[in-house]
């Protein structure tokens, strides 16, 4: 009975779509899924991320789509909760029938969705959570774009070490007590070992902490003057604000989450010109070009929400589209994955280093650029361009 039902369903499906190959592909459109943080305190991140897919889809569709097919983005909310990500992807796969996935929320969320992704051989672009847990071991249909937090922090600390190290350097790190924090510490460890500087203190804090008084008191006691700040958004701002209160003279290397305008606004009052390492551009002609292009596909309200999170998903969808374009009329998941694997030096208009997935880990965009905030003017300037670390 069950076999009969599935045969019947397949027959019905093929009756409605002339091209009944992989799900999500019809003669006129391709469905791309997006599982994102649309509710909850981190929603502004998810909104920025979804914007990237939307802008990329708008740009591609305006240019005629992919071999005549328009891209349709289907977004589901997971509120940053891994079990909901699993449910959201189940719905996207079973009910909406997506072809590929661009937009994957956080690390734990991707890992929660991984069994479904591997089972369905779903081409997936992971751009917001480039954690080693995702490409080690590498999954055949998963392509990761982004540098690790470890490289980002190493890049910033290297710049500080080479250009502006204080006389008696004491390095310190404060980071979250999860896999993201572990990666930050890995970059810190690498820097400290290589430079042979004093490792003052290593502190952990629980995700969601807002009161860093005890930790910063310990930092001050250890005499830290070069800080690897593993806090994000309000947390990072509070860390810097405590440091200012304790009158600490520090240079701070921060997570790329501090590169968005909202974070800069929060952290600037502390008065530190902190550094940020990122695998997409924060400022410069590439960003100007992007904003000018994006105006056509967004409302002014949405345009204000454009940030580095938008850029990463934009690059993700453009890479996916490029591979799908090369597959021509007969668009299948297997072909897309194959073309993605052969992607080499795909230009992203300067938003990032050229994208190349042709390596065993299917990892691209590992080049990091270093920026510095001018706290008074709330502007970033580039210190070092995209480089591999």
Please give the residue ranges that form the binding site for another protein (CB under 8 A): 1-2, 5, 38-44, 47, 77, 80-83, 86-87, 90-91, 94-95, 108, 111-112, 114-115, 133, 177-179, 181-182, 203-206, 208-211, 213-215, 217-218, 220-221, 233-234, 237-238, 241, 244-247, 262-263, 265-266, 269, 299
- The smaller minimum CB distance to another protein, of residues 85 and 352, is found at 85
Taking the complex as a whole, how short is the minimal distance between the CB of residue 162 and another protein, in angstroms? 32
Structure tokens at 64: 């005629």
d(CA 272, CA 263): 13
- The smaller minimum CB distance to another protein, of residues 124 and 241, is found at 241
- The smaller minimum CB distance to another protein, of residues 211 and 374, is found at 211
Closest CA to 328 of 69, 120, 72: 69
Q: Which residues pair with 143 in a beta bridge?
A: 125
Taking the complex as a whole, how short is the minimal distance between the CB of residue 75 and another protein, in angstroms? 8
- The smaller minimum CB distance to another protein, of residues 246 and 286, is found at 246
- The smaller minimum CB distance to another protein, of residues 62 and 213, is found at 213
Q: Are 199 and 139 in contact (CB under 8 A)?
A: no
- The smaller minimum CB distance to another protein, of residues 38 and 55, is found at 38
Question: How far is residue 277 from each of residues 121, 144, 208, measured CA to CA in Å?
Answer: 33, 18, 22
Structure tokens at 62: 């305006």
Question: How far is residue 215 from each of residues 211, 212, 229, 257, 266, measured CA to CA in Å?
Answer: 9, 5, 12, 21, 20
Taking the complex as a whole, how short is the minimal distance between the CB of residue 112 and another protein, in angstroms? 4
Taking the complex as a whole, how short is the minimal distance between the CB of residue 117 and another protein, in angstroms? 11
Taking the complex as a whole, how short is the minimal distance between the CB of residue 220 and another protein, in angstroms? 8
d(CA 212, CA 208): 11
Taking the complex as a whole, how short is the minimal distance between the CB of residue 175 and another protein, in angstroms? 11
- The smaller minimum CB distance to another protein, of residues 48 and 350, is found at 48
Taking the complex as a whole, how short is the minimal distance between the CB of residue 53 and another protein, in angstroms? 13
- The smaller minimum CB distance to another protein, of residues 2 and 329, is found at 2
Taking the complex as a whole, how short is the minimal distance between the CB of residue 302 and another protein, in angstroms? 9
Taking the complex as a whole, how short is the minimal distance between the CB of residue 49 and another protein, in angstroms? 13
Let me know if 163 is exposed, middle or buried by CB neighbors in 10 A (0-12, 13-18, 19+): exposed
- The smaller minimum CB distance to another protein, of residues 206 and 329, is found at 206
Q: Which residues pair with 144 in a beta bridge?
A: 126, 363
Q: Under 8 Å CB-to-CB from 86, ≥6 apart: which residues? A: 112, 113, 116
**Strand arrangement, sheet containing 226-230:** 198-205, 170-176, 226-230, 251-254, 275-278, 368-374, 379-387
Task: Return the C-alpha torsion angle 189, 193, 198, 200, nearest 10.
Answer: 10
Taking the complex as a whole, how short is the minimal distance between the CB of residue 134 and another protein, in angstroms? 12
- The smaller minimum CB distance to another protein, of residues 87 and 325, is found at 87
């Amino acid at each position: 009975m069950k076999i009969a039902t599935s045969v019947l369903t397949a027959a019905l499906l093929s009756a409605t779509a002339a091209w009944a190959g992989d799900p999500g592909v019809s003669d006129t459109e391709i469905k791309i899924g997006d599982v994102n943080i649309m509710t909850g305190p981190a929603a502004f991140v998810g909104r920025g991320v979804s914007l990237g897919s939307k802008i990329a889809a708008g740009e591609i569709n305006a240019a005629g789509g992919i071999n005549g097919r328009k891209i349709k983005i289907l977004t589901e909310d997971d509120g940053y909760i891994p079990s909901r990500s699993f449910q959201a992807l189940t719905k996207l796969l079973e009910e909406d029938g997506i072809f590929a996935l661009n937009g994957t929320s956080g690390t734990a969320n991707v890992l929660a969705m991984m069994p479904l992704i591997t089972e369905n051989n779903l081409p997936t672009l992971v751009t917001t959570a480039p954690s080693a847990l995702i490409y080690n071991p590498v999954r055949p249909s998963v392509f990761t774009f982004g540098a690790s937090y470890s490289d980002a922090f190493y890049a910033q600390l290297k710049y500080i070490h080479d250009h502006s190290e204080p006389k008696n350097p004491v390095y310190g790190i404060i980071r979250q007590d999860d896999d993201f924090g572990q990666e930050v510490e890995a970059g810190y460890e690498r820097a400290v070992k290589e430079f042979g500087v004093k490792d003052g203190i290593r502190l952990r804090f629980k995700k969601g902490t807002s009161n860093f008084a005890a930790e910063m008191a310990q930092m001050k006691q250890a005499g830290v003057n070069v800080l690897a700040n593993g806090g994000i958004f309000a947390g990072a701002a509070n860390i810097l604000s405590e440091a200012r209160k304790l009158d600490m003279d520090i240079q701070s290397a921060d997570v790329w989450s501090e590169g968005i305008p909202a974070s800069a606004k929060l952290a600037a009052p502390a008065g530190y010109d902190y550094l940020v390492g990122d695998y997409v551009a924060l400022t410069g002609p590439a960003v100007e070009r992007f904003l000018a292009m994006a105006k056509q596909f967004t409302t002014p309200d949405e345009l204000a929400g454009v940030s580095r999170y938008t850029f990463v998903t934009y690059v993700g969808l453009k890479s996916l589209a490029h591979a799908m374009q090369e597959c021509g009329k007969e668009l299948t998941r297997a072909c897309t994955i194959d073309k993605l694997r052969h992607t080499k030096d795909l230009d992203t208009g300067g938003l990032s280093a050229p994208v190349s997935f042709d390596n065993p880990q299917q990892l691209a965009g590992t080049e990091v650029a270093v920026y510095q905030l001018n706290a008074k003017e709330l502007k970033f300037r580039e210190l070092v361009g995209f480089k591999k670390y």
